[in-house]
């Protein structure tokens, strides 16, 4: 039986925000989109690790190691794959339903590479 059943390891954007952005946050928001997408807009405090690099065996950034991860992409598809990959390696990870599109639609902040208002590419 897999560690996580499809759907069992998903959270809403509001749950993701609470787990990663609140004063008592203990998890890291891991953005698995590609560089162009990240530069256009991401959540403040998120850590970037493109799915393509994780799939190629690259290690997690140090800020994401040994921490619970809340994994996000543009729409929620790539983050599901990343979460499955990470879970197979023993990482405590959940993915965000609806991704950054839902994050922005819920009114959560999005910044670009310069820290200004960002957009979801």
Backbone torsion region of residue 107, taken as left when φ is above 0, otherwise alpha when ψ lies between -120 and 50, otherwise beta: left
Annotated catalytic residue 51: no
Residue among 28, 47, 49, 73 flagged as catalytic: 73
Q: Which residue has the tokens 């891991």?
A: 30
What amino acid positions are annotated as catalytic residues? 73
């Amino acid at each position: 039986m897999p560690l996580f059943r499809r759907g069992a390891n998903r959270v809403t954007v509001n749950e993701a925000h609470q787990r990663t952005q609140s004063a008592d946050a203990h998890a890291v928001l891991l953005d698995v989109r590609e560089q162009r997408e990240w530069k256009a807009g991401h959540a403040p405090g998120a850590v970037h690790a493109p799915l393509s690099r994780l799939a190629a065996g690259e290690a997690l950034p140090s800020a994401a190691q040994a921490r619970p991860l809340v994994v996000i992409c543009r729409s929620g598809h790539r983050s599901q794959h990343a979460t499955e990959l990470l879970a197979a390696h023993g990482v405590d990870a959940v993915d965000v339903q609806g991704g950054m599109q839902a994050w922005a639609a819920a009114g959560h902040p999005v910044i670009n590479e310069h820290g200004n208002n960002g957009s979801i590419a």
